[in-house]
Amino acid sequence: MTSNSKAAKKSRAKSTSPSIGQGGETQQHPTDASDPTAILTDNHGHPISDNQNSLRSGTRGPTLIEDFILREKIFHFDHERIPERIVHARGSGAHGVFECTKAIPALTKASIFQKVGDTCPVFARFSTVAGGAGSVDTPRDVRGFAVKFYTQTGNWDLVGNNIPVFFIQDAMKFPDLVHSVKMESDRGYPQAASAHDTFWDFVSLMPETMHMIMWAMSDRGIPRSLRMIEGFGVHTFRFVNDAGDGQYVKFHWKPVLGIQSTTWDEAVKIAGADPDFHRRDLFEAIDSGDFPAWDLGVQIFDEVWAAKQAYDVLDATKLIPENEIPVDIIGRMTLNRNVDNFFAETEQAAFLPSNIIPGIDFTNDPLLQGRLFSYLDTQKSRLGTTNFHQIPINAPQCPFQNFQRDGMMQTHLPKGRANYEPNSLSDVGEDGGPRACPEHGFTSFRANDERNDPSQKLRVRSELFADHYSQARLFYRSQTANEQAHIASAIVFELSKVSLEHVRSRILSRLRNIDEQLAERIADGLAMDLPEKAPAARDPIDMEITDALSIQKQASPKSASDQLLGRKVGILFSDGSDKESIDRIKSAVESAGGTAFLVAPKIGKIKVKGGTLQADGQLAGSPSVIFDAIASILMPDAVEKLLKDSAAVQWFADAYAHCKTIAYCEGTKKLLAKANVEYDSGVVAIADFPRCGIARYWDREPKVRDLA
Ligand code: HDE
């Protein structure tokens, strides 16, 4: 038992008293000596009498090496860090449950898809890719979306991203890709940013990256919340049913709250205002019972259909358009419990794409095949032992037993002599241990890929892998005009940070294969001449526009109150503000499933009309970038003061520039004027708020931003 026991908590709650002599002025909690679980011990169980002073020879003498308590404490502390993940180092995790909402036994024998209503515990971890563990949450980057299903037939890890395709086609290129995007090796910067020479140099030489580049430069790269991202398994996997028949499958996660992103200017400012923006958002939502949920969908197709496509379904730089094969929803994941300890759970979570269960199988996607090696290998390096599967967050929640033995940090205590198989120990009454089970054990899909000739050993890619531009074009052309402008502006921004002119030029030459207009507007944004079009290994084809690729097009119209679900509204007030109005807005936002956050120039008690109010955040520390919409209830006197406070002016200017709803009262009008806020359908009188709902007013954008 650790000091985290109930008894220890109780004893910590007792009143404190200074203990002179033991800890000088240190505040000491009294110990309940009758309760052994309340007494501080070292790691070997020895009770400790003094946790403030090391053992020294005389009051002014040197510290003694025999102080095993000090040495153990420092020794353990010195080794608290483990290697961070080489990619996806920055992440946030939570526990939850998966529930089957549509049984699909004809497609797969996977235990979790057999019966509607069946549930299974899950652990999900979301991450950025490029930055270190201590980097900010909102850089432009891909987001990892990894889910561990603790099923009754073992763990299934669906280790995906919020973008359905990947930069490269073959695992051989992964170390190069990652080296290029990480901080440059001589200077050690930039951190968590793709906007630099080496990344764009690499991608400019690897046209297969162009499709994913379109996604990463779109608003998908700057999500508003981890609760509002889609997830994708990326690779084509295989479902296998009881009869051993297989179908191809692509996995999708659709967020119940809808997909939402920030604007680039907003993402940059959030990084300063709250580097933990996404982590805090996820934690607070779950903590307050506002559980984020995603529907799990599948696209199912067979070899015959796959063979007819203009792209190869084994190529991870390609997606299957949803208007070709619709996404069928088969379950829902709800995250309903925060971790108790970030290190023990989120940091030690070890995801393995090789963790699949009977009913699910791999395909020959060369990227997936490489991942099957990498993750197991990396866990040994991060967690230090082949026994990492015994750490509670990684351990299966079904019985697991075999003849693997020993190794560093072994925590299991196998009994008896049977550590080999076959054995006949059961013949003499001893436990012979477990045996393989042909009936229920994992079997690989029986058929080989019909289009493959396994008699050849080759270092080549299949022919259709050479089409690098058709789907990049499909993605770009499926966006709204506003989204296209965001993509163009993002590429201009990134390339502006690239000092190598030939690299910028090479990117432009590639973009011409995607869309001539896109290339032109980026060349214009960089004040560069458009170079010759890069030769394409295969000429791109035009594919049918797909609305599901656009965030704005697929955002279903929502009622005003649904727009508030899971969103956060900042309410600015000050001395003399009307408490009744504040209370009205607060409760209306909360009853629609949103969060109301009170902001004031000072954090403590403020005298308002009708009583006193305490703010949740101080104005300078709660800029409007951390809210989805803002409202202000201010008296003219308070406004006069705030006119001289740039944080107040910026509060409105930013909300306006980020195309958010602004609800104002009469008194605020002067502030709006100073912030250059122009009245449009998103700038509403306080009396109409939040009845009017909240949205992003993209029509406003050309007035506030010179987009490429
Ligand atoms: Fe990963 N990736 N990856 N990756 N990846 C890791 O595994 C790797 C790829 C993804 O929350 C590492 O445990 C190779 C695609 C996520 O813990 C490492 C290749 C996709 C996470 C690794 C890929 C991903 C990782 C680093 C190319 C989307 C975080 C630490 C063959 C489908 C999981 C670790 C978490 C993490 C290798 C490509 C997603 C080094 C070699 C494609 C979400 O093993």
> pLDDT (tens digit, 9 = 90+) per residue, 325-370?
999 999 999 999 999 999 999 999 999 999 999 999 999 999 999 9
- Whether ligand 1 lies within 6 angstroms of the CB of 125 is answered as yes
Phi, psi dihedrals of residue 368, rounded to the nearest 5°: -60, -40
Residue 2 tokens read as: 């650790």
Superfamily of domain 558-704: Class I glutamine amidotransferase (GATase) domain (3.40.50.880)
Kind and range of the H or E run holding 674: helix 669-674
Rounded to whole angstroms, the Cα distance separating 12 from 114 reads 48
Q: Which residues on neighbouring strands pair with residue 231, listed in sequence order? A: 253
Domain limits, the chain: 76-192+225-390, 558-704
**Is residue 556 over pLDDT 70?**
yes
Take residue 329 and report the two structure tokens written for it.
């929803």
Please give the full DSSP string across 562-605, using - where no structure is assigned.
Answer: HHHTT-EEEEEE-TT-BHHHHHHHHHHHHHTT-EEEEEESSSSE
CA of 488 to the centre of ligand 1 (A): 28
Nearest CA to ligand 1 atom 30: 85
Compute the distance between CA of residue 382 and CA of residue 106 in angstroms, rounded to an integer: 40
Enter the tokens of residue 270. 């959030």
Q: Is the pLDDT of residue 648 over 70?
A: yes
Residue 254's H or E segment, with its range, is: strand 246-255
253 lines ligand 1 (CB under 6 A): no
Q: What is the torsional sign of CA 485, 488, 493, 496?
A: negative
Which structure tokens are listed for 608?
């308002």
Residue carrying the six token digits 């002025």: 25
Q: What is the mean pLDDT of residues 306-328?
A: 97
Between CA 656 and CA 593 the distance in angstroms is 24
Atom of ligand 1 nearest to the CA of 126: 11
CATH topology of domain 76-192+225-390: Catalase HpII,  Chain A, domain 1 (2.40.180)
Strand duo 119-128 + 231-232: pairing: unpaired
The residue whose two tokens read 């920030």 is: 262
Mean pLDDT (the chain) is 95
User: Quick one: which of 222, 218, 196 has its CA closest to 504?
Assistant: 196
Q: What percent of the chain has pLDDT over 90?
A: 92
| Crossing angle for the helix pair 501-514 and 481-496, to the nearest 10 degrees | 160
- Two structure tokens written together for 254: 């659709």
378 lines ligand 1 (CB under 6 A): yes
pLDDT of residue 24: 56
* Residue for token pair 């049977």: 418
Please give the distance, rounded to the nearest whole angstrom, from the Cα atom of residue 87 to the centre of ligand 1.
7
Q: Please tell me the distance between residue 464's alpha carbon and the centre of ligand 1 in angstroms.
A: 25
Neighbours of 635 (CB within 10 A): 19
Which of 168, 543, 149, 142 has its CA nearest to residue 365?
168
Beta-carbon count within 10 A of 537 CB:
13
Gap from CA of 412 to ligand 1 centroid (Å): 28
Task: Give the residue numbers annotated as catalytic, written as ranges.
Answer: 88, 161
Mutate which of 82, 85, 147 for ligand 1 pocket (most atoms within 8 A of beta carbon): 85
Mutation pick for ligand 1 pocket among 371, 373, 383, 394 (CB with most ligand atoms within 8 Å): 371
Q: For the segment 135-164, what is each residue's pLDDT rounded down to a tens digit?
A: 999 999 999 999 999 999 999 999 999 999
CA torsion, points 563, 565, 568, 571, in degrees to nearest 10? 70
Burial, 413: exposed, middle or buried (Cβ in 10 Å; 0-12, 13-18, 19+)?
Answer: exposed
The confidence band for 9, taking pLDDT boundaries of 50, 70 and 90, is: very low
| Whether the predicted model's global pTM rises above the 0.85 cut | yes
| Matching fold, domains 76-192+225-390 and 558-704 | no
Q: 161 CA distance to ligand 1 centroid (A)?
A: 9
Across the range 261-268, mean pLDDT stands at 98
| Nearest ligand 1 atom, CA 93 | 11
Cβ of 146 less than 6 Å from ligand 1: yes
pLDDT of residue 2: 42
3-state secondary structure of 60: coil
Encoded tokens for 625:
């970038």
What is the rounded CA–CA span in Å between residue 515 and residue 9? 63
Whether the CA torsion 527, 532, 537, 540 is positive or negative: it is: positive
Q: What is the pLDDT of residue 28?
A: 73
Ligand 1 in contact with 165 (CB < 6 A)?
no
Q: Please state the atom number of ligand 1 nearest to the C-alpha of residue 144.
A: 43
Cβ 229 under 6 angstroms from ligand 1: no
Closest CA to 97 of 339, 259, 331: 331
Dist. CA 375 → ligand 1 center (Å) = 7
